[in-house]
């Protein structure tokens, strides 16, 4: 694991980006934006929209991956051009031309998601459930702190049972759990990017939580995974940078390098 102090000193790395085709695959919540109690209030760190627009203008391919609905991110990012966004952890794709590709779940999986949501509403947790294409997210941010651990345990137990009966899987993320198809994850976005890219393309994946591990694993051997978090955790990523300072430094260094080409 390389920290930013080590990586930033690698002059040959930055020189090697000059004239190269570069793709950045970027998570949003916790990576480009800090976590906040209200997900609708999550906005990028200062300076992020500006540097992203500059990278796009310089020819860098930007691919955003998020657990959110893919339609939300362009509004939050405030980018001048419609970006490429993989939403719902790879369940849908917003293309730069505005078209949307969506993964179709099997009937058994759809039934499981409906059961899980109905149970949560009946149990009094409906306000904590976010419905997205192909998945359900349960956020403890809307639950009083004193009750959150007990509530999350109860949801975890019930949704895990439903997952086993309906060809679904339950995955943790920072601030909750998500019920979704095992066939849908952020690694799908990475796999598509790799398929669409030449072998010479330099690819970086930036993410912060457990859902990004699928992306790090899918990229292994074909690019560099970067853990973006204030505190370190065990990960399959290659580098670790702290937001927002080290993150902005990284993005600026990429911009300078590709602009020289």
Are residues 7 and 127 located together in one domain of the fold?
no
Let me know: does 246 contact 4? Beta carbons within 8 Å.
yes
Q: In 129-210, at which residue ranges do the beta strands (DSSP E only) sit?
A: 129-132, 135-139, 168-173, 176-181, 202-207
User: Domain range for residue 44?
Assistant: 2-14+22-103+184-260
Mean pLDDT of 168-193: 89
Are residues 27 and 93 located together in one domain of the fold?
yes
| Residue at which a domain ends, from 141, 159, 181 | 181
In the numeric block, the tokens 């939050």 are attached to 76
Q: Rounded distance, CA 204 to CA 62, Å?
A: 10
Structure tokens at 124: 């009094």
> Residues 195-252: pLDDT tens digits?
999 999 999 999 999 999 999 999 999 999 999 999 999 999 999 999 999 999 999 9
Q: How many domains does the chain have?
A: 2
pLDDT classification of 261: cutoffs 50, 70, 90: low
Q: What is the pLDDT, as a whole number, of residue 10?
A: 84
Are residues 164 and 214 located together in one domain of the fold?
no
SS3 for 158? helix
Are residues 116 and 154 located together in one domain of the fold?
yes
Q: What is the pLDDT, as a whole number, of residue 230?
A: 96
Of the spans 15-19, 39-43, 158-162, 174-178, which averages the highest pLDDT? 158-162
> Residues 239-251: pLDDT tens digits?
999 999 999 999 9
């Amino acid at each position: 694991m390389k920290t930013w102090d080590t990586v930033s000193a690698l002059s040959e790395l930055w020189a090697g980006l000059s004239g190269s085709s570069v793709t950045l695959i970027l998570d949003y919540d916790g990576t480009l934006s800090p976590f906040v109690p209200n997900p609708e209030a999550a906005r990028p760190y200062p300076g992020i929209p500006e540097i992203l627009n500059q990278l796009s203008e310089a020819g860098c391919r930007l691919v955003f991956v998020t657990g959110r609905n893919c339609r939300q991110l362009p509004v939050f990012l405030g980018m001048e051009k419609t970006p490429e966004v993989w939403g719902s952890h790879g369940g849908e794709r917003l293309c730069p031309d505005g078209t949307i590709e969506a993964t179709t779940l099997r009937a058994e999986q759809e039934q499981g998601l409906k059961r899980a949501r109905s149970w949560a509403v009946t149990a009094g947790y409906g306000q904590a459930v976010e419905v997205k294409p192909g998945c359900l997210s349960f956020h403890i941010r809307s639950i009083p702190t004193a009750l959150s651990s007990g509530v999350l345990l109860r949801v975890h137990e019930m949704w895990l049972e439903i997952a086993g009966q309906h060809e679904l899987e339950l995955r943790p993320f920072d601030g909750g759990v998500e019920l979704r198809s095992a066939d849908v994850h952020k690694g799908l976005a990475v796999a598509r990017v790799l398929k669409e890219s030449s072998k010479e393309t330099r690819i970086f994946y930036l993410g912060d939580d457990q859902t990004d591990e699928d992306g790090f694993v899918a990229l292994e051997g074909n690019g560099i995974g970067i853990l973006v978090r204030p505190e370190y955790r065990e990960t399959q990523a290659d580098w670790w940078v702290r937001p927002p300072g080290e993150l902005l430094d990284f993005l600026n260094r990429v911009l300078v390098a590709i602009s020289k080409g």
